[in-house]
Structures are given as structure tokens and as C-alpha cells.
Amino acid sequence: MRRLPTIPVILAGFAAFLDLYMTQPLLPLLARTFKASTFHVGLTITAPTVAVAITAPFIGRLADRLGLRRVIVGSACALTVATVLAATSNSLQQLIFWRFVQGIATPGIFASTVAYIHEVWPASHSGRATAAYMSGTVLGGFTGRAVAGLMAADVSWPGAFVALGLLNGAVAAALWLWLPREPSARGVGRANRTRSFSHLLRNRRLIATCGVGFCVLFTQVAMFTYVTFHVAAPPYNLSTTAIGWLFVVYLVGAVVTPLSGRWIDAHGHRAGIASAMGLGGAGALLTLMPSLPAIVCGLALSATGVFVAQATSSSYIGAVTTQDRALAVGLYSTVYYAGGSVGAALPAAVWNRGGWPACVGLIVAVQAVGVTIAFTQWSPVARRSAEEPLAVTP
């Protein structure tokens, strides 16, 4: 069997999440700089996730027609330009606009890479391949937040965007050089294999997976957006630099997530999602302890649970679709990032009423909803053969 392009797939995951949540450690700083409310600076998180939710299905259709590699590399280049231009913002409104543009460029990497995995890897190994991709997203998410926090504290917040733009450019060049074309790009044209969008909407298990994805990203964004305000306030009073380093907990997920791929392949997706949400819920509750080390441990558990849950739900898409995978992942991405958008905005109202404990209660409730959807709608079968027909309702 030919060598599988694991490293380029990890790099694609890195690029997809390098910028998406980079402003999380900057939120208290941006609130002071622009004299804005928690809700308004939170729009720097909401804007890119809304953009992803809107554009993901269209990008999925484009990738099915033009080829996955072309869309992945092109999107990485576009994201580089948008990130650098965000540094030119003179107001919070301009910054939110460029964050929206960053979001438009992101799904071409996210949706196309997950579809690429299912085109290139055998079905029996899709779980571990998706977990490798998720490790890249973990490293990208950590790097984006850490670099942003350090640059904003030591240089300026625009400097954070410039630094990440340079990183984006380097990854885009690496993808152009190292990511091979998917096998189907050399054969029959994708347009002839494309099935209707409405056909995917009749896939009950795919729609359920979208619901699980909504809950997964809601919990991640809500947790890591509003905990920054929690630890920036007394008695912790963490600085922007310290908040940036708080995201080192993501590296725990980078270690655990690849191992979870084998667990998913061996024991099934329902076992994977139950374990993931259990970890996430325990971590969220642990952050309620009045101790900074306990909060850090809770965030590590929560992040690991989210990453395992995302690897589980992403690999399950391949178990219930055989064609139009980029479009299917685009549909999933729309609902997934809609969850992130709601997770960035809705807890603001809860925060104003009950602070961090109220936010944690909301997060745990949404995690419970995600597990319920998976256990009532997902098939208990862990794997399927590559020849199994598309699982849709007649």
C-alpha cells in the first residue's frame, strides 16, 4: 500500500484551527482597548464561526467539483491574506469584519480535509486518520492562542495577527508542496458522482451527527471563551500572557486524541462519544473549584473530551456516507460552527446573571444533549466496509 499523507493532513488541521479562536486570550485586552462589552468583543469569536456555518456547504460542493487538494491549498492561501489584513483594523468593527473573512476561508480546509481522509484512507483506519487530523487542529488551536497572547502582551494585538499570518503562509506552502492529489481526482470527474443535497438531508444518522457536532463546539467555545473572563477577574487576576499560556492544556488533547482513534475503530462511535462527553463534563465541573490548578486540570479534561468527541463525530460521517463526502462534511460544518456561534453568544446572558457557575451549568446540559442524540440516533456498529451503500432513508 502506498504511503499515506499523514503529516500533510496534520498540517491541514493545524491551519484550520490556527486562527479560528485566536482572539480568546485577547478578549479582556480587547474589551479594555476598545472600551467594549463582553458581548461585543465576543463577536470576534462569533464572526468567524458564523462565516464558516454559512459558507461550509457551498465550499463542500465546490470541493466535490474542483478537487479536494485544490480547495485545501487555495483556502490556506486565502486564510493567510485575511489574517494579515486583520492587523490593519482601526476599530473593533473592522476587526470583526476581517474575522468574518477569516471564517469564510476556513471551511475549505476543514470540510475538504475530512472528506480527503475518507477518500484516501481505508474505511477500517478512518478513525485513527481523523484522530491524526484532530491532533493537528489541537496543535493549531493551542499555537494560535499562545502566539496571540504572547504577541499581544509583548508587542501589540495587531502584531499577533501578523505573526499568525506568517505561520499561515508557511503551512500553506507546505501543503502545496506535500499534499498529494486524492485518487478520485485522477479518474472520473466529481460532477458525475455528485448526488443531490436533499439526498443527504434524508440521511437520518448524518443529521444526528450534525446535532452532536453542534453540542460539541458549543461546549468548547463557551468553555474557553468565558473562562478567560473568570480567570482575568479576582482572585486570579491573570494577565493576557498568562491567559494565553492557559491554553497549553490543549497539548494534553494532542497526546490523547491519536490514541482515541484506535478506541473508536475498535469499540464504536457511541462508546467514543460517551467517553468524550464524560471527560468534558467532569472537566467543566472541576473548574468550579476555587483553585487555579483545579481550573487548569478541569480545562485539560474538557479540551480532551471535546477533541475526542470531534474525532468521533467526524469519523462517523465516513461511516454513514460513501459519496459527496465534502458536501456532507460541509453540511456538518454548518451545524457544527452554528453551535460555536451560539456558544460564543448565548453564555453572555447567562454570565451576566450567574457568572461562571451558570455558564458551567449550561455547558454540562448541552453535553448531555449531545450524548442523548448519539445514543438514540447513531448505529451501534463501529465500522463499515468501503463497499457498503450510502446509509439513507428511502
What cell numbers appear for 29 in the block?
485586552
Give me the mean pLDDT over the 93-121 stretch.
Answer: 89
Assign 196 a pLDDT band (cuts: 50, 70, 90): low
Give me the mean pLDDT over the 327-337 stretch.
Answer: 80
* pLDDT value at 345 more than 60: yes
Give me the mean pLDDT over the 4-17 stretch.
Answer: 91
DSSP notation for 194-214 = ---HHHHHT-HHHHHHHHHHH
CA distance readout (Å), 135 to 9, 13, 91: 10, 7, 34
83 contacts: CB under 8 Å, gap ≥ 6: 19, 102, 161, 164, 165, 168
Judge contact between 336 and 207, C-beta under 8 A: no
Within 10 angstroms of residue 294's Cβ, the number of other Cβ atoms is 13
Residues 198-211: pLDDT tens digits?
777 778 888 989 99
Q: Is the model more confident about 93 or about 349?
A: 93
What cell numbers appear for 213 in the block?
457536532
Judge contact between 43 and 26, C-beta under 8 A: no
Residues 132-159: pLDDT tens digits?
887 888 889 889 999 999 999 889 999 9
Judge contact between 277 and 309, C-beta under 8 A: yes
pTM score > 0.75 for this model?
yes
Q: Report helix, strand or coil for 233.
A: coil
- Cis peptide bond upstream of 235, omega within 30: yes
Give all domains of the chain, ordered by start, each with its CATH number: 6-181+198-377 (1.20.1250.20)
What cell numbers appear for 345 in the block?
453568544
Provide the residue type at 375 as one letter.
F
Burial code (b: 16+ CB inside 10 Å, e: under 16) for 330-344 equals: bbbbbbbbbbbbbbb
* pLDDT value at 190 more than 80: no
Residues 299-325: pLDDT tens digits?
999 988 888 888 788 778 767 776 666
What cell numbers appear for 149 in the block?
497572547
Residues 238-273: pLDDT tens digits?
998 898 888 888 788 777 777 766 666 666 777 788
Provide the residue type at 307 as one letter.
F
What cell numbers appear for 292 in the block?
487555579
